Each structure stands twice: as structure tokens, then as C-alpha cells.
Structure 1
Amino acid sequence: EECMLAANQAVAQKVFAARIPGIYRVHDEPSDDQWARMADELRALGHRTAPEDAQDLNRIVRSVFGKPEQYMVTLTLLRNMKRATYEAESRPHFGLGFTHYAHFTSPIRRYPDLVLHRILVGIEEGRRTPAYSAAEIEKLAIHCSDTERESSELESQSIQIKRIRYFATLLEKGETGPFKGTVISLNPKGLIVELADSLQQGMLPYSALGGERYFVSDDGYSAGARKGSPYRLGQSIEVGLAAVDETLKRVDFFLPGAERRHGHRDRQLLRHPSAGNPRSHAHKPMGKPAGKSGNKSPAGPKKSPHQRRYAK
């Protein structure tokens, strides 16, 4: 992996120095809103330091490495990052801490890499005319960014379909857990829980927590009733499988023990066509914690191999 990063960086520097059109891999730093949202979420997770640059992010990553909160802290950083794109103009790669970076080492599976191979051949052979014009590179960069995003979304949808079918099968067999998970977001209707083993997300409705009414805090990072401890962002929790809707790709959880205190709840497996747009009803991290950013990694110029693996 380190050799790959070095090769990609070297080729980007070579093309930039040649002053000819090239296609670069760019990852801009978070916006002001993303920095602020990141600080709020980290504060809710118990980190008082508000990150302001790549060095701060690296310190945070190192401070939680190997600890139970590592996953949630890393997720917080990732979902408050911008998405890396292909650009005709070289700009720093924030996630890797490189001034110039490009994708070069996988020409058999990524078109931008093949484009750079052609450009590099032209440089090495001393051709007067570049392999691509600036206008062609501009169009290619936009096209490759769009198709990468589309393929990533399709991959996520495919994985989600398989996961939903898996949990539907478990429910049919009566295997309802419990499963270990983490509260990754809160909304007015319930807690969004992500399971540790499968990364399946689902809702644990407040109505499944007991008979009392639950209130979400003003900052959106905790919810509680008049009695008992509140549920918080990043909290570990065990849940059971309550319902699976294969049409809406939706999973609902229940809290083991709560049903014994407040009455039995039937398990439901739904396969019937549902009205509306399925994608608009699928569970996703909601509310303030989720943010609107792309999923890119903690950043910085001096990353260890395990840290660099998150951003390419």
C-alpha cells in the first residue's frame, strides 16, 4: 500500500511538473460547517478538543486507537469529510496529506489510471502534443467522478439487499438476537442503531423502550425519559430483531427485556409492495449527528499505514 501511494504521488508530481493537462485525485478539506458539526459530535462522544486541522484529526485518531470508542469516533470524522473527486487541476489531497496525488496504479480497473498511463508515455517519449487537451481532461474528470459515485451507490444498494435478505431469513427462523450495536444517530422517532458484525442499520423506536415518553435533547445527541439514564450518541447497546421490510429495505429493533416489562411485541416479516418511494423510507443516520458530508477519512501529512488505509 505504501508503494502504491508513493507511485501515485510520483506520477502526479511528474505530470504537474510537465505543465500538461492531467487528471488528479483531489480531496478538499472539510467546510466550516463540517468542522463545526464534527466538533459537536466529538464533544457528545466525550472529546473536548475541537479539531481545526489535519494534525488535530490525527491526534484524535491516535488517542482512540484500540479503544471501544474508536469506531464511533472514526465514523464521526468520516461522515464529516468531503468526497474525493477527479479534477483537471491539481489540489492537495487532504486525507493523505499530499500536495499532488493521482490514481495511476490500477489501469485495468480505473479509467483515470489508464488516462495517466497514456499521458506519462507521451512525456517519456518527448511528444510535443499532449495525449489529451485541457478540455478533454475536464470532461473526463467530471465523467469519472460521476460514474465512481454512481457505482459506489449501486454497490451499497447491492450489499444492503443481501443484508436485508439475511435478516429476513433470521427472522423467519425465529433468530431474533440479541445483537451488539452502537447508537450512531437519534431522531424524533427513535434511535438509529448500527450492528457491530454486519453494519446493518435499523431503528429502535422510543415506543419499544418502555411506557414513558422520550425527549430528544436540543443538540440531538441524546434522548431520555423523566426516569432513568438517557440514551446517547455512541452508546453501546444490545437489540433484538423486531421487523424486516424487504420492500423498504427497513429493519426495526426491540430492546430485550423491555417487552417482558411492557408486553409482548410480535415479530414481523414484510414482503408486500409498499406505497411511496422505498429509498425515501430506508433507515439512514438522521438528525444533526449524521451530517450531509461525504465519507472520507481522517487526514494529515504523517499517517501510519493503518490510518492511511481509510483514504485513497
Structure 2
Amino acid sequence: MTKSHPASRPYYGHKQPEKFFNKPNIVDKPIIKTPLPPLPKPAFPEKVLLESQKIAEKARQNWEQEIRQRRDFRNVTTLTIDPPRAQDFDDAISLRQLPNNRYEVGVHIADVSYYLPEGSVVDKEARKRATSVYYVDRVVPMLPEILSNDLCSLQPQQERLAFSAVFVLTPEAEIESEWFGRTVIKSDRRFTYEEVDEIFEHGRGDYLVELKILDSLTKKLDEQKQIAGALAFVDRETEFVLDDHGQPQQIYRVELTRSHKLVEDLMLLANRRVAEFASKYNKNKMGYFVYRIHDAPDQDKLRDLALFLKPLGYDLEIKNKKVSTAALKKLLASASGQPEEAIINRATIQSMSRAIYSLDNIGHYGLAFPHYTHFTSPIRRYPDLLVHRLLALYLAGKRPTEAQLQQCAELVIHASLMERSAAEAERESKKTKIAEYFAQHVGEEIDGVIAGVTEFGIFVEDSATGGEGLVRIRDLGDDFYELKPKKFALIGRRHKKQYRLGDKVHARIKKVNPDRGWIDFELI
């Protein structure tokens, strides 16, 4: 194995691919230039754990007094839908049928801000961490376990405190009224995504009526979003089955299903409407808010994307030197279901600006929302906790202090950077586990697609697992191959055989270095 392995550099978004794509190194926001902060150690300091215990004890003592001050949803049908291994249940959904063919839909979020006094030892630790980190084999939580997996977690058949967004909707998912405030809930049933999909498929199961109503409403919400101009990227998650020693035994890819969309669209609704509600206070100069913003993409990047797509047979329409949102939507729709769909999705995403947290609202380009925030995951994201605190202030008719404003301005930058650090750590974790899995299967064959072409070889993405490996140019022994950048292909000098981006290939696992996450394939 050589000292420098090109496969250690993912194909998209790094210096080598930018050079290959002829893409300028455009920085979306000033904070992106800032070096990423290191992630915190997994273990919590002893003083944080001790204070967490005290918080839990105090909450139990004050329980009866607290719930009397809250809107009571304990007798309203309430469900959670999460991955099978989830332990920190941030969100729950309630449904109540009203007269006149109306529906009350509640999006109930763990009320972390009630338990976590601002400036407390636990709060300062959560602020420093800013996010939970989800490695393949473990979670490094933002909050101690007694809070994240117990007291705050919306567990089934347990009374829990929530911060809720409640909507009265028509059958067409038009909002007739909305309410935001603190509640007490009790989840009737904990579902996994797979269980809900099974109920939809077979037409029977617990809470079938409620789930079908929610499914119908969220489909209407999604239609509204698409009409407004939201971009529909295909999102495929990589799932791992590990043994007792943390070794990967199975890897498979999961596409977003009806159950995922149901939850996602209700969370988007809550995030959007909370941001719209809070923005009124900005207009009245009463305060500020934490927004999740996504700037429009740089047109130079989109023009480069158009050049990249040409050899794949896709035309990205450019009018007056600009690529419109409609043109991007048309591109993604035309690639849907095609072998190169994942590559086109990835390349398009790489052409987008990076979503960040900000006190200045510019809207969310990808979702086509003029106002957007993160309200729905305060157990694992500190910005959501800030949003809860600000929303509580505004609901009480108060405004934040200048000191709070200054601190918030610093925290949104810190949270954006920590989010990137966590994302990189999670990607490396997946890369390592995929390599560990492939190391157990050296010599076996895979079907894949060419996901990258460079002067030193081709990157092949395994269709089954999403794992990516390198076929070195020296292992293409039937000819002398040269890189043709304008065609995004390696072409044989004598026989003119081509290996192009998006081509399907059959390969064998040749060599793996799990420690470095390197995988070598050979074509067969």
C-alpha cells in the first residue's frame, strides 16, 4: 500500500475534485473559513452529572404544580415515530378530530428549556457541545443521559413536559389557527418507521385511522412545499447492523418512506410556523430570533454544474446567465429513478450554499420557506434550545436583554461550526465501518456505479451499501487510459473504451485498509 491513497479524499467537495470540475473555491459565508472546533470528550464532567441529578429531583418535586400551569394533552391520541435504536425521543405527534371536518394536529417537542436553567453548569456544557454526535457504534450526547434518555425523552406511557405547536387544519392542510405553548403529554405508542410503513402497506394495525389522516395531511403539506419551489433531493440513509463487539455484520441503504415523510413534513411545519411567529417580534423591533438560513446558490457554481451534467446527457437550462430554481427542480425530476440519480443529487447538493444558523433572516432556499428555524430537536441541538427560550420570552410578552443578544450572536456561529465538526466525524465513522465490513468480504463481487473519475483511477460506489472504493488506473490493464476532463471519462488510447461518470460496473473487492477507510476494487 502506498503512503498516499487517493481514495482517502472523497470525490465531491474537496480540493482535488474542485480542480477536476473546474470549480472555483467559493466560500458561502465568512464563518466557513473558520477552522472547525474539536468535538468534546464523550464523558461528562462530574459536576455536570451531579447537577443533572439535582435537576431531575427538583423536577419530580415540582411536577404537580408545574402541570397545572400547562395545556393538558394527556388524553389526546399521541404517538412517536423514530428509528428502531432511538432512545432520545425529541418529538411526538397528536391528532384530534374536530367538528366541521377539521383536525387538530399537535407537534410536541421535549421541553428541555424548562429543565435546563440558562447559565447553569449543565447548560454551559450543552452550549459547548452544541450538538449530539451520532457515530455508527455510539452516541456522544449533548445532554447527560438522565436528561436526554429519561426526563426529557417523550417515552411511551410516560407523562412528559413539552413545548408544543398546535394547528387546526382543513383536509387540504390549510392552517385555520395555531397555538404555541407549554404542555403536558403522554405518548400512547412508540412506533418505528418500519412499523408505520407496514401499517400503511397492509391497511391494518394500531392507530390506523390516525396515521392515515396524518399521512393525507402531510402529503398536502408536501405538495404546498413543492409548488412553492422546494428542491426534492433523494435522501438515502446508510444503516448498519453491528455485533456485540461493534463489528459491522450488515450494511444496507434506506430510502425515505411514507412514514419518514409524515414526520418530516410535520416537523417542517412546526419549524416554519414558529419562525414566522417569532419574526413578528423582529419587525416590531422587540427582539431577535435564531433562524436556520440557506442562501441561494452561487451562479458560478450552477454554471459549472451545467457543464458537469452535459456528458451525462442532462441539460441544465441557463437563461440570462442564470440557473433558476425551476430548472433545478426539472433536473432532479428527470434524474429520478435513473442509475446516475445519486451522482446528480450529490453534485447538485455540492453546488448549493451551506445552511447555517443566523440572527439575520434571509429565508431557506432549498425548502422555499421565507422563514425557517430549528425548533424540533432540543435534546440534540443547542440552537433549538435557544429557539425555545426566545419563543417562551415572546409568548410572555418579554424581550431579551442586550447581553442575551450578544451571547446568542456568538452561539449561532459556534453551533454552525460544531454542526460541521459533528458531520465530519459522523462521515468518518461511517467510512471506517464500511471499510471494516468490506475487509470481511475481500474477493467478493459487487455491482456499482462510477461516482468519480480522476487521473489516478475511477471511484466506484457500491449500489448495495453506498461504500466507495478506488479502481486504480494501473489496474485497468487492457489499455493505456487517459483522463478526458470535458467528458468526465477515462478513455483508452488504443481501443477507445470509455469509463464515464454514471456508468454501471461490476467489480471485485481487492484490498482494504480499515484503519484508513481505504477500499480498492478491480473491475471484472
Whether these two folds match at TM > 0.5 is yes
CA change 1:9–1:228 in 2 (3 A) is same
Asked if structure 1 preserves the Cα contact closer than 8 Å seen for 2:339 and 2:502, the reply is no
Residue 188 of structure 1, aligned match among 442, 450, 455 = 455
| Residue 143 of structure 1, CA deviation | 0.7
What SS does the aligned partner of 1:21 have? coil
Q: Does 1:221 align with 2:488?
A: yes
Tell me, in whole angstroms, the C-alpha distance in 2 between the residues paired with 1:148 and 1:32.
Answer: 26
Asked if 1:232 corresponds to 2:495, the answer is no
Query: TM-score, normalised on structure 2?
Result: 0.46
Residue 271 of structure 2 is aligned to residue 4 of structure 1:
no
- Pairing 1:244–2:507 present: no
Matched with 1:44 is: 311
Change over 3 Å in CA distance of 1:108–1:247 after alignment to 2: closer
Q: Of 161, 179, 190, which aligns to 2:446?
A: 179
Task: Please give the alpha-carbon distance, in whole angstroms, between the structure 2 residues aligned to 1:189 and 1:50.
Answer: 32
Q: 1:231 to 1:218 in 2, by over 3 A?
A: same
Amino acid at match of 2:290: I
Distance 2:354 2:399 in 1: 35
Please, which of 389, 394, 413 is the counterpart of residue 123 of structure 1?
Answer: 394
Aligned equivalents of 1:187 and 1:64: distance in 2?
Answer: 23
Matches within 5 A, 1:54-203: 54-129=325-400, 133-171=404-442, 176-203=443-470
Q: 1:13 aligns with which of 254, 276, 301?
A: 276
Letter in 2 for 1:148: E
TM-fit CA distance, 1:21: 1.7
Given the superposition, is the C-alpha separation of residues 180 and 131 from structure 1 closer, same or farther in structure 2, using an over 3 Å criterion? farther
Q: Given residue 5 of structure 1, which amino acid in structure 2 is its aligned partner?
A: L
Distance 1:189 1:211, change over 3 A: same
Flag the structure with larger Rg: 2
Which stretches in structure 1 are left out of the alignment for 5+ residues?
A: 257-312
In structure 1, C-alpha distance between the alignment counterparts of 2:268 and 2:409, rounded to whole Å: 24
Q: Which residue pairs with 2:214 in the alignment?
A: none
Contact 1:182 1:194 in 2 (8 A): yes
Post-superposition CA distance 1:57-90 (Å, at most 9, x none)? 1111222223333222212212222221111111
Q: Secondary structure at the match of 1:170?
A: coil
Q: CA deviation at 1:194?
A: 1.1
Measure the CA separation in 2 of the matches of 1:128 and 1:217.
Answer: 60
C-alpha separation in 1, matches of 2:446 and 2:307: 28
Deviations 1:82-125 (A, max 9, x none): 22111111112111011111000122221111111110111111
What is the one-letter code of the residue matched to 2:391? L
Q: Residue 193 of structure 1 contacts residue 202 of structure 1 at CA under 8 Å; is this kept in 2?
A: yes
Q: Which runs of 5+ in 2 are unaligned?
A: 1-263
Q: How does 1:285-296 map to 2 (within 5 A)?
A: none
- The one-letter amino acid paired with 1:48 is D
How many residue pairs match? The answer is: 252
What is the letter of the counterpart of residue 250 of structure 1? W
Specify the SS of the correspondent of 2:511: strand
Of all paired residues, the percent bearing the same amino acid is 31
Question: Structure 2 counterpart of 1:102, which letter?
Answer: T
For 1:158 and 1:48, the matched residues in 2 are separated by 36
Measured after TM superposition, the shift of residue 239 of structure 1 is: 0.9
Deviations 1:244-263 (A, max 9, x none): 1223321111111xxxxxxx
Structure with higher RCO (Cα < 8 A, 6+ apart): 1
Deviation at 1:211, TM superposition (A): 3.7
Instruction: Report the counterpart of residue 23 of structure 1 in structure 2.
Output: 290
Q: Secondary structure at the match of 2:317?
A: coil
Q: Shift of the alpha carbon at 1:220?
A: 5.9
Distance 1:227 1:12, change over 3 A: same
* Cα gap change, 1:128 to 1:93, in 2 (>3 Å): closer
Q: Structure 1: how far apart are the matches of 2:450 and 2:301?
A: 20
Tell me the TM-score normalized by structure 1.
Answer: 0.76
Aligned residues: CA RMSD: 1.7
- The residue type paired with residue 326 of structure 2 is Q
Greater shift after overlay, 75-84 or 194-203? 75-84
- 1:3/1:112 Cα in 2 relative to 1: closer, same or farther (>3 Å)? same
Residues 213 and 115 of structure 1: CA distance in aligned 2, closer, same or farther (over 3 Å): same
3-state SS of the aligned residue for 1:219?
helix
* Contact 2:290–2:373 under 8 Å retained in 1: yes
